[in-house]
Amino acid sequence: MNIEARKKALRFLFAPIVDKLGYKFNPEEEDVDFLLEQEAGLEQQCGIPYCPCQARTKDRAENMKIVCPCIPFHRAHFDAMKRCWCGLFVHKDVVDPSKLKQLPPGGFYKKD
């Protein structure tokens, strides 16, 4: 599989899905390129474009919750932070993603 072609395909596939969820691709193009490359690599390795910043375990049901775009499975958390965990997607109203945090003040977010 050609990684560059797959990155373009993933971008094409994800855009309309996240749009309906109120998100868009992160305006930081360099970050998006890196993250899509990792996802294309994971897809090549595992058959599924998992989130590159969350761990897979032996629990398939849990692993399904980190298939990109994983927004529906972590909705409360991501909506609060205005970004998904890896930062591939941000809320549509986000202009400067550099200010966004992964977790609220105080640390861990309650799992959905």
Partner 1 sequence: MKKVKMYTLSTCLWCKRTKKFFEDRKIPFEAVDYDKVEEQERERIMAEMREKGGGGSFPYVCIGSDVVQGYEPDAFERLLGCEKK
- By CB under 8 A, name the binding residues for partner 1: 31, 34-35, 38, 41-42, 52-58, 62, 66, 85-87, 101-103, 107-108, 111
Give the nearest distance from C-beta 43 to partner 1 in angstroms. 11
- Closer to partner 1 at the Cβ: 16 or 106? 106
* Residue 42: φ, ψ to 5°: -65, -35
Classify residue 111 as left (phi > 0), alpha (psi -120 to 50) or beta: beta
Give the nearest distance from C-beta 39 to partner 1 in angstroms. 8
What is the torsional sign of CA 19, 30, 86, 14? positive
Assess contact for 40 and 7: CB atoms under 8 A: yes
Give the nearest distance from C-beta 66 to partner 1 in angstroms. 8
Nearest in space to 7 (alpha carbons), one of 25, 19, 21, 22: 25
- Closer to partner 1 at the Cβ: 16 or 80? 80
- Closer to partner 1 at the Cβ: 20 or 76? 76
